[in-house]
Chains A and B, each alone.
Chain A
């Protein structure tokens, strides 16, 4: 564990040990909010911020904490951080906060955050924990955005609908109508569509991994890919 390079930590967070596709954690928000790209991005960024802050804080106090009270302390810290983020979102992204609503508060229950605090940040330096939180969060956010894009495209035929909720009025023009006169495919937007979509994305990741394992590649190139 201790001899992992930063690059390996990043590769794990983004790909090999991706929160959504490999650890299959945080499914409740993942499945519930990804009915379009903007919702996915909003929750992804909030989760990313939580992971980075909680990893850094836990790492900073790791030598202070006694093993028998570490879990309650972690939970307490994570809950405080999430509540602060929720208040900040309500203040600066009011409409998006209205849409994501309860799922911001539910970041607390995303096992990956306590998981990273316990498995990584409590045993590693602040810098390494920061990289771990950042890449794990980015990996999770990427999964949310991908699934959101897939469901929005299939379900409504658009991409980046309602982007103005996050980026201001100017972003209304971000909306891409990919299929004109699209009738919509309801299943993709409803909860079952989230399960099916996630299943397909996990399958896709496994296929890519198998391809890469069967074709021998020079080591640096493989590391390059992993860091993407």
Chain B
């Protein structure tokens, strides 16, 4: 008798597991395209804020590749590079990078660099910095992040790529130095990465085409 009871309970439990999984699978299927579209829209929106759309005629979101450099891009995971071209000629690229030493963990950045190595602009895409202090790095909250536009490793020179408190040229915030310090360092490193890999970053061989499948799969 107990065996029969156990089997009944087990099959009931199994039945509900199937029901629950079906519900999730059905919702996933019916929202998948919309979610992918949302993520794409958000990305296109931030890209066009950094690189003016009239400067390129390709689709940087599909013309993307993945690169990995734990030291300069702040993460052992692959980072995305979106490439903007006009008439097939490279114009600029935007790459994702991480400032790993924020006040509350990682700060995710989208850094757009013109072909000549100057910054087209920087945006913060995700962070957990203190509201009211560190969150001034967001473009929506203060103009601080716009101060990067036009800068390069020649302006200022690499040793001046610091916040003013550390002897550099970038402003810190009252009561929050750690956050801007982390962002400045990450942007400088990303520029350094671009300088080293400039010649290969715009290459679109079969190898990079194969690479872009993976990050977009999820």
Contact = CB atoms under 8 A, between A and B. Distances in A.
Contacts of B35: 87, 90-91, 94
Q: For the complex, would chain B's binding face be called helix, strand, loop or mixed by DSSP majority?
A: helix
Interface in B2-43: 5, 8-9, 12-13, 16-17, 19-21, 23-24, 27-28, 31, 34-35, 38-39, 42
Interface stretch (A10-18, A183-191, A211-219): A183-191
B130 interface: yes
Contacts of A72: 13
A2 interface: no
Contact of A186 (B5, B126, B133): B133
B205 interface: no
Given A73-B12, A190-B131, A87 B27 contact: yes
Interface string A53-97: 000000001001110110011001101110110011011101100
Contacts of B23: 80-81, 84
B132 interface: yes
Contacts of A137: none
A186 B24 contact: no
Contacts of A95: 42
A158 interface: no
A66 B12 CA distance: 8
B148 to A, nearest CB: 23
Given A73-B13, A84-B27, A92 B34 contact: yes
Given A84-B27, A91-B38, A184 B9 contact: no
Q: Determine which residue in A65, A77, A84 has the highest number of CB atoms from chain B within 10 A of its CB, and name it.
A: A84
B26 to A, nearest CB: 8
Nearest to A83: B24
A69 B20 contact: no
Nearest to A188: B132
B12 A91 contact: no
B20 A80 contact: yes
A190 B134 CA distance: 12
A66 B16 contact: no
B24 A184 contact: no
B139 to A, nearest CB: 14
B13 A186 contact: no
B138 to A, nearest CB: 12
Interface string A152-171: 00011000000000000000
Nearest to A89: B31
B34 A73 contact: no
B38 A76 contact: no
Contacts of A76: 13, 16-17, 20
A34 interface: no
Contacts of B39: 94
Could you say which of B17, B23, B27 has the most chain A C-beta atoms within 10 Å of its C-beta?
Answer: B27
The 3 A-B pairs at the shortest CB distance, nearest first, are namely A80-B20, A91-B31, A94-B38
7 contacts: A66-B8, A73-B13, A77-B16, A81-B23, A84-B27, A90-B35, A95-B42
Interface of B: 5, 8-9, 12-13, 16-17, 19-21, 23-24, 27-28, 31, 34-35, 38-39, 42, 126, 130-133
Interface of A: 35, 61, 64-66, 68-69, 72-73, 76-77, 79-81, 83-84, 87-88, 90-92, 94-95, 98, 155-156, 184, 186, 189-190
Given A66-B5, A66-B9, A91-B38, 8 more contacts: A65-B12, A68-B9, A69-B12, A87-B24, A87-B27, A90-B35, A155-B132, A186-B133
